[in-house]
Amino acid sequence: MGNIRFIVASIISVCVVLISCFGLLSISHGEEWDGDLNTGKEVLTCMAEEDLDSLLKYMSPEMISTVEVNLGKNPLFQSGKDPKIQFLREENGYIEFIVLDGATPVYPKWSFRFKTVDGKISAYELYRLRTLDTRSEEYTEAF
């Protein structure tokens, strides 16, 4: 009888270990950047048009203060008199785009990675991408 209990306890222990490991694994991979696409596009448009009031409406309460502080460093927020965003790739949580000021692209390409909670941005990363041509001098300088 004692042995049977021990075997049952052992099986349960194994299951707990397995579930814990999978749990840990899912936590390590669980940082999903799958924000709502429409919110992401609206936010980018607000940034490019320097529309701070609208922008803040799309930010979660925790983000509002950091966004206000960091906007001065955000070049997308000063991207020209009449900037237009042209989206190149649109997915939940990830957008690639170019900014057109008149007909001149301000920078080759941008990418925006973001999370949303209840339709508001809870985290984001904004990158400007500079093309590397492996045969150019610039490529050497980049490193």
Partner 1 sequence: MFVKRVCVVVILFCTMCLGFITGEAINVLSKTDPGIQAVRLLYSFETPEDLVKQLAQLEPMLTKDVAEQLTMDDSRTVDVYYKFKYQRSSVKIEFVEGTTVYYRLINDNIDPDKLWVFDYELDADGKICKVEEFETKVCGIDG
Nearest alpha-carbon partner for 98 in 130, 52, 55, 133: 130
65 is written with which tokens?
């203060």
CB of 107 to partner 1, least distance (A): 9
CB of 126 to partner 1, least distance (A): 4
| Contact (Cβ atoms closer than 8 angstroms) between residue 44 and residue 99 | no
- Token pair 């997308």: residue: 76
Give the C-alpha separation, 131 to 75, whole Å.
18
The residue range among 36-44, 50-58, 98-106, 126-134 that interacts with partner 1, by the rule CB under 8 A, is: 126-134
Instruction: Indicate the residue among 15 and 102 with the shorter CB distance to partner 1.
Output: 15
- For position 136 contacting partner 1 by CB under 8 A, the verdict is no
| Contact (Cβ atoms closer than 8 angstroms) between residue 43 and residue 114 | yes
Binding residues for partner 1, rule: CB under 8 A, are: 3, 6-7, 10, 13-14, 17-18, 21, 25, 33, 60, 62-63, 66-67, 70, 73-76, 89, 91, 94, 96, 108-111, 113, 115, 121-132, 134-135, 140, 142-143
